[in-house]
Structure 1
């Protein structure tokens, strides 16, 4: 394992954590404000979700020798924003535990494996491209607010990729930090290391919290995280059984819930950062990126107070630019794979457009509907071609 460690894999793990903290964590802050959560409790939340993602990511990446990136349920966190403050924090924790137990039993049943295996490769790739597309746009949307800095970052990206593809992400972080200090008046002088002090939250089970949060949390976690997450790994050539991983993550989610941590799931947005060739040319060594992703999460959990302080200081637009540019390669590879199957290009295009649209039907996100529509169209096209052959 030591021989497989490379700086590029370490940086990929770091970038994936930075993206998670800069994006989905913002939803956590919004939920905390809705529930009028104090900074101490917010620190406990960050501690719990970071420790859960850190431990699970390290264990799974080592066991399966695969860059298995885990995180907290971003769509599940979004549910909290709509439920607080009517829902108490104690009820929310009880719902987390209920959802974790349900996910565990879904995992050991093995039903999820069958669903993932029937998704065509071109449809899976198109879904991943659709998921990443809007996220990648964030790098260019910054042109409206900080045009000169965005152009500087774009030029730096091209230069770094040309000079050294392996270390380009690390150089982008350095460039972004430098520009933030020089031109956006970012002040990191008050930054300090603050060890987290987790707060125990006693669960309170109610039918209301079970129906309004626990069950929807299971649905959005399966459709918005596990489905695209496993599909992305499959797209990069990592064939792994979903049963033990889902079951394991269900178990991990139970103890962290008592400290405010929402369900731990397979990451979707950040997975390509560690699973692509940018992390390491050798796909058999990219699991190191998954391990260090977990290590950085653990550090984030231990110093959760510092994480909260840092990401309220680091400019959001710079982080968005770095994250968007870091995903360009994965977006290109996904589109290339999706369009490679010319016979089913309509199915891939419909999948991509549906997923990228960001629609939400019955509380279920666009990634699920994209893969459902795409798979149906793929099956229809296959059937029509067979019928055409038989009539000749």
Structure 2
């Protein structure tokens, strides 16, 4: 196993893993901090939350990717964290931890029982690909939107990416990232002086169970995580051309959450946006060797788990435009492939387009994100199109 991993290792895969963590952390870590603060968490408890989440994501990324030789990327539930901010009022930390445990049990049951996989198997590939392209569209647009505020840095990254795609595709994103950091440094945009080294210490909270926390926190967290995170997570895996049993993936994310919830890991799930970075051609030209990128992401997540809030200050040192640009460039190929797969079959073209548009709209209904509603709209369009006249 170790020999195979060494043989499959590549710098581009390691960089893809780093970009995955960079994008995942910088885009949503602040929401997790706010969720912890909503439960009146102390600085030590916030560090414990980040540590537990980093450990959980790191272990699941590494173990599941090694087990299936497929890039399996996990993440914390960003919409779940956003929901916690709004539902935390009056809920003590002990009851919140109890709610996290109940949600984790439900996710574990849905995974290992096969219920979730049987439901997800009914989604056509064109619909899944349309949803994937819709989820990632704003990242592609952000490359060019970032040029409004940091033109020199972002345009230079874009140009070097195009040049490297022509002559050395594997290192296009790597080169763009290095150039972006150099330009940001020369312009004084890197906030290195804010970085502080501090290890995270686990804080164990004894759970307490209540009916109000079950209804107000546990069930919404479970529904939002499954609908807004795991559904698009599976769609990304399949739209990227990988075949892997879904039930154990979901089951193990739930089981890992169950173990780490008393330390603040509120919900772990399959990643969607960040997973696409590890599954794209920028990670490696050979799809069979892209699993190394997910393992690299796991290693970086373990470092986050070890140093907790410190890593947040490291990622915060990068200017936002650099993060947006490198994420968008890393996902261009995946967006293109998603659109191609979505629109190639004429019979399913319009439903796939509807899925893409609804997902790209960013609409949120009942605290559930646009990826789920895109699938619903596309499924409805396919169902109506198949009705006999």
The two structures share one fold, judged by TM-score above 0.5: yes
After superposition, the Cα gap between the structure-2 partners of 1:305 and 1:369, relative to the gap in structure 1 and judged at 3 Å, is closer
The whole-number CA distance in structure 2 between the counterparts of 1:145 and 1:32 is 32
User: What SS does structure 2 have at the residue aligned with 1:314?
Assistant: coil
Where in structure 2 are the equivalents of 1:209-248 lying within 5 Å? 209-248=213-252
1:135 aligns with 2:135: no
User: What SS does structure 2 have at the residue aligned with 1:75?
Assistant: helix
1:141-197 CA-partner distances (Å, limit 9, x unpaired): 223332333222222322332332212222222222222222244231453543221
Of 257, 264, 268, the match for 1:260: 264
Of 274, 278, 299, the match for 2:278: 274
1:8 alignment counterpart: 12
Of 32, 38, 48, the match for 1:28: 32
Of 70, 86, 93, the match for 1:89: 93
1:202 alignment counterpart: 206
Where in structure 2 are the equivalents of 1:297-316 lying within 5 Å? 297-316=301-320
Q: CA deviation at 1:284?
A: 1.4
After superposition, the Cα gap between the structure-2 partners of 1:375 and 1:185, relative to the gap in structure 1 and judged at 3 Å, is closer
Q: CA deviation at 1:23?
A: 0.8
1:125-156 CA-partner distances (Å, limit 9, x unpaired): 00000111123322222233323332222223
After superposition, the Cα gap between the structure-2 partners of 1:202 and 1:140, relative to the gap in structure 1 and judged at 3 Å, is farther
User: What SS does structure 2 have at the residue aligned with 1:257?
Assistant: helix
Where in structure 2 are the equivalents of 1:1-392 lying within 5 Å? 1=4, 2-189=6-193, 191-384=195-388, 387=389
Q: Is the 8 A contact 2:36 2:49 kept in 1?
A: no
The whole-number CA distance in structure 2 between the counterparts of 1:377 and 1:43 is 46
Q: CA deviation at 1:345?
A: 1.2
Q: CA deviation at 1:36?
A: 4.8
The whole-number CA distance in structure 1 between the counterparts of 2:173 and 2:202 is 32
Which stretches in structure 2 are left out of the alignment for 5+ residues? none
Of stretches 180-189 and 88-97 in structure 1, the one that deviates more from structure 2 is: 180-189
TM-score, normalising length: structure 1: 0.93
The whole-number CA distance in structure 1 between the counterparts of 2:189 and 2:358 is 40
TM-score, normalising length: structure 2: 0.94
Q: Is the 8 A contact 1:36 1:85 kept in 2?
A: no
Q: CA deviation at 1:35?
A: 4.4
